[in-house]
Amino acid sequence: SPILFWHRRDLRLTDNPGLAAAALTGRPVIPVFILDEVFDSHGAAPKWRLGLGLEAFGAALAERGARLVLRRGGALQTLAALVRETGAGAVWWNRLYDPDSVERDTGVKADLKADGIDAQSFAGHILHEPWEVETKQGDYYKVFTPFWRAVKDREVPDPVTAPSDLTAPDSWPDSDALEDWQLGAAMDRGAPIVGKHVVVGERAAQGRLAAFIGQRVQDYGDARDLPSVDGTSRLSENLTLGEISIRSCWHAGLRAQADGKDGAGTFLQELVWRDFGHHLAYNTPRLTSENWREEWDAFPWNEDERKAEVIAWKRGRTGIRFVDAAMRELYVTGHMHNRSRMIVASYLCKHLMCHWKIGKAWFEEHLTDWDPASNALGWQWSAGSGPDATPYFRVFNPVTQLDRFDKKRTYVGHWIAEGQSQPSRDALDYFEAIPRRWGLSPDDDYPEPVVGADEGRKRALEAYENRSF
């Protein structure tokens, strides 16, 4: 009988452990994607990017004579209906580790099994299963460096090749039309602009990895900190949808290291930061929704999104150039450089004393590489409320950070149009992408700081000194 293969964040054929195992059985395989409440609840940019990913993956399957069956609805009900329609005896998938997915998948597995269906899950979305990395006391890891030490020399399975053949079922079940899902609906204004900046699909992601390893990894150690330089892999948007496997990235990094490429070790470490986020999200699900350190519940965070300072932050009009450039980069490209993410997060949580949840939600709405675990970890790290976090009293100065990481002002010059006679295309695209009701124009004066670098730092440190915990 056929195997239903339930795709989620694994839109690839190469190194897809579950799909490879299904193909090896020689039984018919029916690839399925379900737009369930978990995927449907995501922000505008990740949903739009998901649509592009599904289109590319559907085409890749079609090249092998297979199809991607699309259905919308509750995961369990939809899978049960497909089992009935196709006579499938098995439902297999690759595991995810964020709380919403874990809760859904645990329920689905139990219910399918109770109905006599062979429900199986496989590893492959991260390097090491969260329950397989333990401290000497048998606990999970809360701090990155010991986590890194625990896994850096561990064996990571070699990537498995794409199945050469997927046996088709006698007849294909009905599929929704991707267009009818309107995954880009909320992205109407920005989509053509953000569309210039995405790299979609498995083949393109493999090309990206090859280009990075071939050219940029050597200098990655330093270049990764400079937002004006194309110094990183940009693989996050592909990794979050599984258009490329993390194991392939790991092995490519190891080979580069063996070839003596200087930056390869740092690249491997960054890949493990991704694992660390998933390790924490799995072991302490509150990472994605609550202050990981509960005492931070008592901190006087601003949670009011209507405050002028918050609006200015979202719109890239704080008057702090590093912050504004970064927020515009996000709006136009669906991506933001890691250094910039740290700067805007620090400014929001410290200078503006706003709750990290406001920033986390804004990123969830606008990042094409949005990942539930990495986003939550990044925000809790920046705010000081996470398990391994930068202390609250360490406040990034967004002005002196410019001197360190954008000395020639290339990055801020690229993104901020106001006051320039010949702004870049990207800087102007920002004004095309934003809603007209914001009433912004490149001819406006550049604003004075809503909260200055020194003033904000002082305010944040006072609040920290006076905290009740």
Q: Is residue 261 a contact point for ligand FAD (CB under 6 A)?
A: no
What's the closest the beta carbon of residue 131 comes to ligand FAD, in angstroms?
A: 20
> Smallest distance from the beta carbon of 264 to ligand FAD, in angstroms?
12
Q: Which amino acid is at 241?
A: L
Residue of 38, 160, 193, 271 interacting with ligand FAD (CB under 6 A): 271
Q: What residue number has its CB nearest to ligand FAD? A: 378
Q: How far apart are CA 442 and CA 431, in angstroms?
A: 7
Residue (94 or 375) nearer to ligand FAD, CB: 375
**Does position 352 bind ligand FAD by CB under 6 A?**
no
Q: Out of 363, 405, 411, 415, which residue is the one contacting ligand FAD (CB under 6 A)?
A: 363
Residue choice 140, 148, 273, 464 for contact with ligand FAD (CB under 6 A):
273
Report the residue number, 181 or 347, with the smaller CB distance to ligand FAD: 347
220 is in an annotated binding site: yes
- 437: which 2 tokens? 């009701």
Helix (H, G, I), strand (E, B) or coil at 4: strand
Q: Are 339 and 254 in contact (CB under 8 A)?
A: no
Q: Based on the shown chain and the rule CB under 6 A, indicate whether residue 224 belongs to the binding site for ligand FAD.
A: yes
**Are 90 and 119 a contacting pair, CB within 8 Å?**
yes
Q: Check whether 267 is labelled as a binding-site residue.
A: yes
Contacts of 239 (CB under 8 A, 6+ apart): 246, 249, 274, 369, 371
151 binds ligand FAD (CB under 6 A): no
- Nearer to ligand FAD by C-beta: 101 or 233? 233
CA 323 to chain centroid: 20
Q: How far is the CB of 156 from ligand FAD (least distance, A)?
A: 14
Q: What are phi and psi of 80, to 5 degrees?
A: -65, -40
Give the nearer residue to ligand FAD in terms of CB position, either 156 or 168. 156
Q: With beta carbons less than 8 A apart as the criterion, state whether 48 and 58 touch.
A: no
Closest CA to 368 of 188, 195, 204: 195
Q: Does 205 bind ligand FAD (CB under 6 A)?
A: no
- 27, with CB counted inside 10 A (0-12, 13-18, 19+), is middle
Contact status: 236 vs ligand FAD (CB under 6 A): yes
At residue 20, what is the residue type?
Answer: A
The interaxial angle of helices 372-383 and 338-346, nearest 10 deg, is 50
**Two tokens, residue 226:** 């400079």
CA distance 118 to 114: 10
CB of 82 or CB of 239, closer to ligand FAD = 239
- Are 332 and 430 contacting, i.e. CB atoms less than 8 angstroms apart? yes
Closer residue to ligand FAD, CB minimum distance, 169 or 334: 334
Rounded to whole angstroms, how far apart are CA atoms 444 and 456? 25
Stretch that binds ligand FAD, among 27-35, 296-304, 370-378, 384-392 (CB under 6 A): 370-378
**Smallest gap from residue 336 Cβ to ligand FAD (A):** 7
333 annotated to bind ligand: no
Is residue 369 a known part of a binding site?
Answer: yes
> Which residues, 14 to 53, sit near ligand FAD by CB under 6 A?
none
Closer CB to ligand FAD, 236 or 385, in the complex = 236
Total residues at interface with ligand FAD (CB under 6 A): 28
Considering only 49, 341, 350, 414, the residue that binds ligand FAD (CB under 6 A) is 341
Q: Does 232 bind ligand FAD (CB under 6 A)?
A: yes
Nearest approach in angstroms of CB 278 to ligand FAD is 9
End-to-end CA distance of the chain, in Å?
60
Q: Does 239 bind ligand FAD (CB under 6 A)?
A: yes
Q: Name the token pair of 37.
A: 């409440």
Q: Which of helix, strand or coil describes residue 7?
A: strand
Nearer to ligand FAD, 301 or 370 (CB): 370
232 is in an annotated binding site: yes
Which lies closer to ligand FAD via its Cβ, residue 349 or residue 402? 349
* String of contacts with ligand FAD for each residue 379-418, x by CB under 6 A: x--x------------------------------------
Q: Where are the alpha helices (DSSP H) in 348-409?
A: 356-366, 372-383, 400-405
The angle subtended at Cα 44 by Cα 59 and Cα 57, nearest 5°, is 10
Question: Binding residue per annotation — 468?
Answer: no
Q: Looking at 302-337, list the stretches that DSSP marks H as alpha helix, in order from N- to C-terminal side.
A: 308-315, 321-333
Q: Which of 240, 245, 248, 288 is close enough to bind ligand FAD by CB under 6 A?
A: 240
Residue type present at position 70: L
Bridging pattern class, strands 3-7 and 29-35: parallel
322 part of the interface to ligand FAD, by CB under 6 A: no
374 binds ligand FAD (CB under 6 A): yes
Q: How many helices (H) and strands (E) does the chain have?
A: 22, 5
Residues that bind ligand FAD (CB under 6 A): 224, 232-236, 239-240, 270-271, 273-274, 277, 338, 341-342, 345, 363, 367, 369-371, 374-375, 377-379, 382
Instruction: Indicate the annotated binding residues for FAD.
Output: 220, 232-236, 267, 369-371
Instruction: Indicate the annotated binding residues.
Output: 220, 232-236, 267, 369-371
